[in-house]
Amino acid sequence: MLATIRVAWFLAVRQIRRASPWTTALIVFVMMLTFLNLVVVGGILVGLPQGSQLAYEREYSGEVLIRSLPTKEYIERSEDMIKTLRAFPEVVQISPRYLTGGKIEANYRTAVGPKQEPDALMIQIGGIDPVLEHEVTGIGELLFVGENLDPEEEGYVLLGKDLLEEYTVGAGIIGAVTLTNVGVGSKVRVEVNGSTKELIIRGVLSSKIGEMSTRAFMLDTELRRLSGRTDRNVGEIAVRLRPGANPMAVRDALKASGFADVARIQTARESQGTFLEDIEDTFEILSAAIGSIGLMVASITVFIVIFINAVTRRKYIGILKGIGISGSSIELSYVFQSIFYATFGAFFGLVIIYTLLVPYFAEHPIDFPFSDGVLAVPIDGTLIRLGLLVAVTVIAGYLPARMIVKGNTLDAILGR
């Protein structure tokens, strides 16, 4: 057996080494493209919903999001919960948000006639501590116009870009219902629970997460006063954890601390519901289908390459058998060649993926309406695809070799 493998290796190495370098390069190139097709197409498809999930976690929810129960407007015992959360070693920062429905109006100064439509929107308003919010969601970096709120300076509001006509051009999530002719520095009137206040737009948030792009944010103290709230119960709490911390452990610990009955305590993934997960699952199926076509192409390519090689070398295969080289050695030598083509093709594919494509897509995400798509190519999944490619090419290399090797030795030698 050992001699069989040694001779197979001996033959394979010399065949590859002394083959035309252009032919070898071409085959390796085809295998590389096949591998890229196998990994990158699926990576992009899965990367679209995954990009959305990552952005949701990064820009809105943190790793754990605590929301009020569906039947309540706020989280009872919020202060206790915040205190408990701050005691968890995994928690880096939390951002409690007061949430309330309200109206925001732009043309309240100029609208005089009863027939004139008010330029107003019913929206959700978040009351935040801008420093905490920035530490959890980086809200300051989401501002593409203007600047963040100052905790010491009341009278300002941040608006999600989908609330403003200037930045949506009719493509906003809420369609044409947007505020017109307002931007940073403009005054708007906010009405909450019958109380109104004039605020200046300090910045506009750009995010593909609806909760950020369709909300208005003002100082929590100011919103509480405006809404007449005297309690300190908040509407939601975004929790940022230390890198590597397990959000499920924090969720479970918080539930175990007795807060399960007063709030929906969920990881970022759970709080998104199943919509994105369903999309991701669908894209994974699509990617598997596309990948299997790629695998078929790879196997047919290798089959043809090895078949042509074996057919043109049929005489020498006959001679090798004639002088006593076992058929298994000859077949195995072709299997080794197939593995060579597949692994080198995949190697160059890996280099391209992890040194060029992943950094490129991280720097220039795919601009998709609901997300900035990343290239989702986890190393374990990539290695599985590499293994699949090698396995398929091994079979594709073995079959034609077997077909030729099992032929009559003398016929092969004499070219009959």
Partner 1 sequence: MKAIDAINIVKTYSSGGTQNTVLKGITLAIEQGEFVAIMGRSGAGKSTLLYQLSLLDQPTSGDIVMDGISTRKLSESALTKIRLSKLGYVFQDYALVPELTALENAAIPLLMQGHSDSVAYAKARVALEAVGLEKRINNLPSKLSGGEQQRVSIARAVAHAPKILFADEPTANLDSETGRRVIDILQAFHERGQTIVMVTHEEEYGLLADRVIRLSDGMIESYR
Exactly one of 324, 364, 369, 380 binds partner 1 (CB under 8 A); that residue is 324
- Binder of partner 1 out of 6, 83, 86, 255 (CB under 8 A): 6
Sole binder of partner 1 in the list 115, 323, 364, 380 (CB under 8 A): 323
Helix intervals (H) in 138-192? 139-142, 165-168
Token duo for residue 135: 């530490």
Q: Candidates 138-146, 211-219, 291-299, 405-413: pick the segment binding partner 1 (CB under 8 A).
A: 405-413
| Using rule CB under 8 A, residue 321 touches partner 1 | yes
Which is closer to partner 1, CB of 10 or CB of 347?
A: 10
Told to check if 243 binds partner 1 by CB under 8 A, we report no
Q: How far apart are the first and last CA of the chain?
A: 31
Cα angle 7-30-314, degrees, rounded to a multiple of 5: 40
Amino acid at 82: I
Among 207, 271, 299, 329, indicate the residue that binds partner 1 (CB under 8 A): 329
Q: Is 19 in the site for partner 1 (CB under 8 A)?
A: yes
Tokens of 351: 């280099």
Long-range contacts of 115-120 (CB under 8 A, 24+ apart): 119/179, 119/180, 119/181, 120/179
Among residues 41, 111, 177, 319, the one that binds partner 1 under rule CB under 8 A: 319
Please give the radius of gyration of the chain, using alpha carbons only, rounded to the nearest integer: 31
116: left (phi over 0), alpha (psi -120 to 50) or beta: beta
Smallest separation, CB 333 to partner 1 (Å): 11
Binding mask 356-375 toward partner 1 (x if CB under 8 A, else -) reads --------------------
- The count of residues in the chain is 416
Nearer to partner 1, 109 or 315 (CB): 315
Binding to partner 1 by residue 311, rule CB under 8 A? no
Give the residue, chosen from 138, 322, 359, 378, that forms a contact with partner 1 under the rule CB under 8 A: 322
Sole window of 15-23, 124-132, 211-219, 245-253 interacting with partner 1 (rule: CB under 8 A): 15-23
User: If 0-12 CB within 10 Å is exposed, 13-18 middle and 19+ buried, where does residue 326 land?
Assistant: middle
Phi then psi for 348, rounded to 5 degrees? -65, -35
- Does 410 participate in binding partner 1 (rule CB under 8 A)? yes
Residues that bind partner 1 (CB under 8 A): 2-4, 6-7, 10-11, 14-15, 17-19, 315-316, 319-327, 329, 409-410, 413
